[in-house]
Amino acid sequence: MSVGTPTLFKLGIIPLAFFFLVFFAYPVVHFLWGSLVVEAGGSSSLTLRNFTDALGSSAVLRSLSTTLLLSVLTGVVSLVLGYLLAFQVVRRSPLLGRVIFVAAIASLFTSTIARALGWRVLLGFEGPINKALIAMGIVSEPLHLINNFASVAIGMIHIQVPVVMVGLIPVIETLPRDFERAAVGLGAPRWKTFLTVHLPMTWMNAVPVGLIAIMATAAYFTTPVLLGGGRVDVIAIQIQQASQVLFDFGYAAALSVMLVAMISAVAIAILLFTHWRRNVRARGSS
């Protein structure tokens, strides 16, 4: 390589670095910093007022707990179902695997608004699910299935299952088939092979995928609005209200800091827990 080449290549970082600093880093830091600043009479002062206001509001506290519950529930269910689907895609007959993969990809790339509309029809008062329940004689009157926490959770799980599945396929693919062949060859039943070979060898890499689902769900806006019918107040809705209805960027920033703090706390707790479990396991076996 000629002498000037590495220097020339180095310069390539400049446009993106500039773009990143000017349009991502600065706006985000400035916005979040604004949560600590209150402007009064031409002078600005540092204060925690936005945070005390937010924490003093029962609506905010309720939306924080709703968001936490929704995202953890979505993450856990999506991880279980996504693991199942990824396992089937990798380990089952090519045909079944292909069907599952196509279904998940079609779902993944369909707009989330369209999918929420689909659930709105499915879960509607006169929708197919209510009709089926009545036809089977399980209920005599249609149930209110939509505009509640459960419908939002269903919509969010529907969004995250394909994401988790796609993330888990490489995790399961890296597990050598010989291990399970050995277990089955030695007479272990398939469920025992799954519990003692598959799960222990993949879950360390599976948990972060579930974590991404939790983090994405915690900040989701559209599905809680469309399937919650105003009754499921997540923190993203509070942030949108604060900035577009109240025009209070400082307050919106305080809510955003709280959202980021909550996501980070969940992430740290889960990662610490998985590492602790792994250490216990490692010590136990040595």
46-105 positions binding other proteins, by CB under 8 A? 81, 84-85, 88, 96, 99-100, 103-105
Strand-pair partners of 39:
44
Task: Measure the CA–CA gap between 195 and 279, rounded to whole angstroms.
Answer: 19
Q: What whole-number distance in Å separates Cα of residue 83 and Cα of residue 202?
A: 10
Rule CB under 8 A: choose which of 11, 40, 46, 95 binds other proteins. Answer: 11
- Judged by beta carbon, residue 59 or residue 113, the one nearer other proteins is 113
Distance CA 257, CA 39 (A): 19
Q: Does 32 bind other proteins (CB under 8 A)?
A: yes
State in angstroms the smallest separation of the CB of 21 from other proteins.
10
Least distance (Å) from other proteins to the CB of residue 12? 3
Least distance (Å) between residue 237 CB and other proteins: 9
Closest alpha carbon to 214 in 169, 150, 266: 266
CA-CA distances (angstroms) from residue 145 to 113, 217, 228, 232?
18, 21, 10, 13
Using only the alpha carbons of the chain, give its radius of gyration.
24
Tell me: does residue 218 bind other proteins (CB under 8 A): yes
Nearest distance, CB of residue 199 and other proteins, angstroms: 13
Among 169, 206, 232, 254, binds other proteins (CB under 8 A): 169
Q: Which is nearer to other proteins, 70 or 115 (CB)?
A: 115
- Looking at the Cβ atoms of 19 and 276, the one nearer to other proteins is 19
Q: What is the DSSP letter of 24?
A: I
